[in-house]
Structure 1
Amino acid sequence: MHDYPMILIMALLILGYGVFSKKAENSIITPPMVFVLMGLFVSYFMPNLLDQSPKAGYVKPVVEFTLILILFVDGSTIDRKSLWYEKSLPSRLLGIGLPLTMVLGTLAAMWIFPEENLYILILLALILSPTDAALGQSVVTGEKVPKKIRQTINVESGLNDGFAYPPLLICISVLALQQGLEVKEGHLLTFLLKQFILGPAIGGIVGWLGGKLIELALKKGMMTVIYQMLESFAIAVLAFFAAEYFGGNGFIAAFVAGMMLGTRREEARERMKEFGEAGSQVMVMFIFLLFGMILVPSSYPLWDWRAWIYAIMSLTLIRMLPVWISLIGTGLDRKTVLFIGWFGPRGVASILYLLIAIITLGPDGMDRLVSVITLTVLLSIFLHGISARPLSGIFGKGDHEN
């Protein structure tokens, strides 16, 4: 048993938190907060465990798979019919807001960290551009916030990690060339077209066919309840790898597969959703435990005033200004725009992309990048987690369209 200390700690934490999870759900305490704090506790009082913790190369597949499952489950909760009428909001946030966030994040980084390599600063802005709605879970799952706004935040969060991935890979490739590392050659336009066309197309096909297969099996009475639950894992992974095999974006494919799931059987959809949420929740908590154990303690000494300024700007101005610009002319009032702007937490996607950068480029010269991203994610875990429930309650009381 002494060979698996992390598994033992995870089991104890899940048992302990689970006992009080109902009370915690109705409070401002969120699972990511608890597991990050426990990671810090372990790093301080049991530092010898750090030598036995998984390395970045082993953690990356776990984070990747977690994100795939989260995206699939998020996609499966989307009401396609209502989204069709409200599609302008997510498309504005993704088509206008996301690129502006990347540009503004880069400009702010150039101003605050002028001595750093330009492409490191671009990479910083790209890694912090995708959002993670799970950190403010009550916003997208509760009934207090209008469905239109919940779906907008959920769709944006589900797709922007995939949209940020191609420019991230391009930036990492440029940095790799600067370091003299070999990179895969390929035509940029072809690469981008494959990412943004094949990803959604393959994801939609896999999700629709997988759902229809489940529906057919249920009609003929051939499928057990357990395997209905397991299909969320199977379809999400198939969509991801099929898209990646043909050059598409696997993360976008996983989200679209969930959104286009081809079964109307509510009991099957609910079972798949519950299993996907439970499975991804365990892995998310493991990621945040490691985040608190390893990244936070190692980054803490580098948190100077400039790191704090950028982290706070990333969660406020760098996020909110592009959201405001992208939503001009939609008829939403100022409170709604501020609400959407604020609930752009940074979480699992930013941690995954940071790991990809470190594994590809190596740790040398990455101290500033790692420290600022870690601080931003840490602030987001607590600020968005604490504010989600009370702000949802306040926001849900009014009429928010002009």
Structure 2
Amino acid sequence: MTHGLLMLGMFTMAYTLLAKKLSNGILTAPMLFLAFGFLMAEAGQMPVAEAEHLLHIVAELALIVLLFLDAAQINLKSLRERHQWPFRMLVMGLPLSVLIGTAFAALLLPAYPLIVAALVAALLAPTDAALGQAVVTNKAVPERVRRALTLESGLNDGLALPVILLFASLTAEMMQQDATNWVLFGAKQLIFGPLVGAIIGGIGGVLFLAAKKQKMTTAEIEGIGALAMAGCAYLSAGMIDGNGFIAAFIAGLCFGNVIKGQCAFIYEFTESEGQMLSWGAFFLIGLALLPNAVAHLDALSLTIILTSLFVVRPLAVWLSLLGTDAAPTTKLFFGWFGPRGLATALFALLIVDQIDHEIGETLLNLAINAVWISAVLHGISAVPLAKLYGARMAGNDGAAEMAAMPPMRPNITED
């Protein structure tokens, strides 16, 4: 174990020394940490059983913190009024992804109930900008496009989670595993979680502003309070059978919309410690789950994953952006750069024990395979397609979009 941890530390240090160079290539951090975890497992350098236990802890911590921080950076009024593209992709594109994905999954999985196909589609709907970091940081891509992708990926995991939990509860009902209890439990989670999150996030934001106004806190300390707030929302919701992850997301959303960008820590943490949590989760997924998932990758699973990547999301995004000023090239660009990342893996891990064992394991393996396949495909295509798209939009194809572009602000949380 010690030897394995030493190798992980050395690998992480080496990556940080080469991070800027690697950011301009096809090897992304999620891809590398997934691969390193997989190689460590295959070499037997770290005990997989202990890694699985640790994964649950790190995964839950990463999900709580990242859901809270992503939501806290979103100004709902600004999103609705000045950011039409991500708003349409969230409000219309995400439901369309689930609906279209359900239709394809039902065709490919005729032996399973329709609700299982819907659960598959919901698990594959959230996106992760971290897997396409070379796109959202590439100056060749117009700022409006980069921001739209960042905003969409920041919100869609929190919006997809209630749907996934609902479908998981219905799947349990269909499989006759304490059906009544599961439906009641699911209903409590979807009601009490948001309620607790709204109360804690709203009150926390008001108290935060009051303390800041009276100069009773400091910039270094206030960030610790924000993270404690995320933890309080998570734990409080769990005490009354609400879903803690939804509570953390709603708490961040309410907190961010109360403080309106007055907590610089949120952005700094997302760029530093948040990255470490994300890397750690990807490493543990590669170590504990990837070997088994790869062993169960068959033609059917591959077809579902590739259909989700190449057909379902592109079609859903295209339909959601009809009637906007997005050029056809931009719609295709948005449709492709919706990589499946931590949310897909962690949500599958979250529900695997709630439903029938065989179905749960199948969905978990499908989700993990979707993550590594997406990491590879989006990683190797990010830089060349970003350059190609940027060059194309710099010409006549981007003239209409540039003319219609709303004034950009330093960050989305500003009024």
TM-score class, shorter: 0.7 to 0.9
* Contact 2:22–2:28 (Cα < 8 Å) also in 1: yes
* Contact 1:307–1:372 (Cα < 8 Å) also in 2: yes
Aligned to 2:365: 371
Residues 319-328 or 86-95, more deviating: 86-95
Measured against aligned partners, the alpha-carbon deviations of 1:246-277 in whole angstroms (never above 9, x if no partner) come to: 85732531551464261655xx51x4422343
Q: Do structure 1's residue 172 and structure 2's residue 178 form an aligned pair?
A: no
Q: Which of 25, 34, 37 is 2:35 aligned to?
A: 37
Q: Which of 309, 322, 328 is 1:328 aligned to?
A: 322
Q: Which of 379, 384, 390 is 1:390 aligned to?
A: 384
Aligned to 1:160: 156
Aligned to 1:215: 212
* Contact 1:32–1:285 (Cα < 8 Å) also in 2: yes
What letter corresponds to residue 113 of structure 1 in structure 2? L
1:107 alignment partner, SS class:
helix
Aligned to 2:230: 236
2:25 alignment partner, SS class:
coil
Q: 1:77 to 1:324 in 2, by over 3 A?
A: same
Cα distance in 2 for partners of 1:245, 1:144 equals: 48
Q: Which of 9, 14, 26 is 1:16 aligned to?
A: 14
In structure 1, list runs of 5 or more residues that go unmatched. none
Aligned to 1:66: 62
Q: Which of 86, 93, 108 is 1:90 aligned to?
A: 86
* Contact 1:202–1:253 (Cα < 8 Å) also in 2: no
Paired positions, count:
391
Cα distance in 2 for partners of 1:242, 1:87 equals: 33
Question: Superposition pairs for residues 3-402 of structure 1, below 5 Å?
Answer: 7-46=5-44, 49-55=47-53, 59-78=55-74, 83-177=79-173, 178-181=175-178, 183-186=181-184, 198=195, 201-202=198-199, 205-206=202-203, 208-209=205-206, 211-213=208-210, 215-216=212-213, 220=215, 222-241=216-235, 247=242, 249-257=246-254, 259-260=256-257, 262=259, 265=262, 268-269=263-264, 271-361=265-355, 363-397=357-391, 398=393, 399=398, 401=401
Q: CA deviation at 1:139?
A: 3.2
Q: CA deviation at 1:349?
A: 0.9
Q: 1:262 to 1:141 in 2, by over 3 A?
A: farther
Q: 1:93 to 1:10 in 2, by over 3 A?
A: same
* Contact 2:93–2:317 (Cα < 8 Å) also in 1: yes
RMSD: 3.2
1:54 alignment partner, SS class:
helix
* Contact 1:210–1:235 (Cα < 8 Å) also in 2: no
TM-score scaled to structure 2, two decimals?
Answer: 0.82
TM-score scaled to structure 1, two decimals?
Answer: 0.84
* Contact 1:162–1:250 (Cα < 8 Å) also in 2: no
* Contact 1:120–1:369 (Cα < 8 Å) also in 2: no
1:28 alignment partner, SS class:
coil
Q: CA deviation at 1:16?
A: 2.0
Cα distance in 2 for partners of 1:25, 1:258 equals: 32
Measured against aligned partners, the alpha-carbon deviations of 1:297-335 in whole angstroms (never above 9, x if no partner) come to: 112232222222211111121111011111100121101
Q: CA deviation at 1:288?
A: 1.2
In structure 2, list runs of 5 or more residues that go unmatched. 405-415
Q: CA deviation at 1:210?
A: 5.4
Q: CA deviation at 1:34?
A: 1.0
Residues 231-240 or 42-51, more deviating: 231-240
